[in-house]
Amino acid sequence: MDSIRVCIVEDDDCDARLLREALDRFTAEQGTAFDIAVFHDGADIVERYPADTDIVFLDIEMGGLDGLSTARTIRAHDGDVLIFFVTNMIQFALEGYTVNASAYIVKPLRYPLFRTHMQRAIQTLEQRRERFVTLRSGREHVFVNSNKIMYVETSQKRSLVHTDTNSIFCNEALQAIEKKLDPAQFFRVHASFLVNLAYVDTVMPKDVVVRGTAIPISKHRKHFFMKVLADYKGRFL
């Protein structure tokens, strides 16, 4: 994938240097390229937040704007960036969930654990990459980012593809669409429904809830579905 844009927000030069060295080591081992910017206070990154930032490493206890306040401000206008708190103040872990923090990295930084966090972060970013599939809708061929497809259903001998912004009628069978999609991300929960595991909110006794929509799940498929879903979600925890 392209270079990953990383911001380090740390008022201690030594700790900032250790993070950069860990990223350099990860690059040497994994071949992942990073574009790194360093800020020495939360207020600095809030004022000059770089566009298309992928990952923010954020110290909690800083002399100016603290890490949690900084994270709340960042999250208000960037819901996708991965935030890692780097701190010895683990007592604030619960507050991190309010800004959807990816993880806490406890000081002093230990590289093996850091590498594990980074591998999961790379998987998450890879998953978000645009993957376009072509769908036949009437006489047109429509290009759709498969990561935006929430679920697909059979409708009046055609298929209805529900994305996070609209729904598209397709002149293709559900089975044909399924073959175009990543089997590690999409699961056939019912003869008439195919769901994107990334959008699954809740599993009920007889339904799967996908962004607020209840979709029936076959009792013969549920056991395997639960295993596949657990494996999928576990990759990003």
Task: Give ∠ CA 86-90-96 in degrees, rounded to 5.
Answer: 75
Q: Which percentage of the chain shows pLDDT scores above 90? A: 67
Indicate if 36 and 144 belong to the same structural domain: no
pLDDT in tens, 40-88: 999 999 999 998 899 999 998 888 888 889 999 998 888 889 999 988 8
- 168 phi and psi angles, rounded to 5 deg: -125, 125
Last residue of a domain, one of 113, 128, 143: 128
Sequence length of the chain is 237
- Residue 140 tokens read as 């047109």
Domain range spanning residue 31? 4-128
Indicate if 15 and 116 belong to the same structural domain: yes
Taking residue 83's Cβ as centre, other Cβ atoms within 10 Å add up to: 23
Amino acid at 152: V
Residue 92 has pLDDT above 90, yes or no: no
Least Cα distance to 197 among 234, 143, 153 occurs for: 234
Residue 122 has pLDDT above 70, yes or no: yes
Q: Are 74 and 96 in contact (CB under 8 A)?
A: no
pLDDT in tens, 211-221: 999 999 999 99
Integer CA distances (angstroms), 190 to 11, 92, 173, 223, in order = 53, 42, 14, 13
Q: Given pLDDT bands bounded at 50, 70 and 90, which one contains residue 96?
A: low
Task: Report pLDDT for 146.
Answer: 92
pTM of the model: 0.62
Instruction: CATH number of the domain at 185, please.
Output: 2.40.50.1020
- State the total domains in the chain: 2
Q: Which percentage of the chain shows pLDDT scores above 70? A: 94
d(CA 186, CA 79): 23
Residue written as token pair 């900032």? 16
Residue written as token pair 């076959």? 218
Indicate if 164 and 123 belong to the same structural domain: no
Q: Given pLDDT bands bounded at 50, 70 and 90, which one contains residue 93?
A: low
Q: Are 232 and 199 in contact (CB under 8 A)?
A: no
d(CA 170, CA 174): 9
Residue written as token pair 């990952």? 55
Q: Are 110 and 116 in contact (CB under 8 A)?
A: no
Indicate if 31 and 74 belong to the same structural domain: yes
Indicate if 116 and 50 belong to the same structural domain: yes
Indicate if 167 and 197 belong to the same structural domain: yes
Indicate if 122 and 167 belong to the same structural domain: no
d(CA 101, CA 81): 9
Indicate if 60 and 137 belong to the same structural domain: no
Instruction: CATH number of the domain at 30, please.
Output: 3.40.50.2300
Strand partners, 144: 133
Q: 157: phi > 0 → left, psi -120 to 50 → alpha, else beta; which?
A: left
d(CA 61, CA 50): 22
- Residue 92 tokens read as 């604030």
Indicate if 122 and 148 belong to the same structural domain: no
Last residue of a domain, one of 128, 145, 169: 128
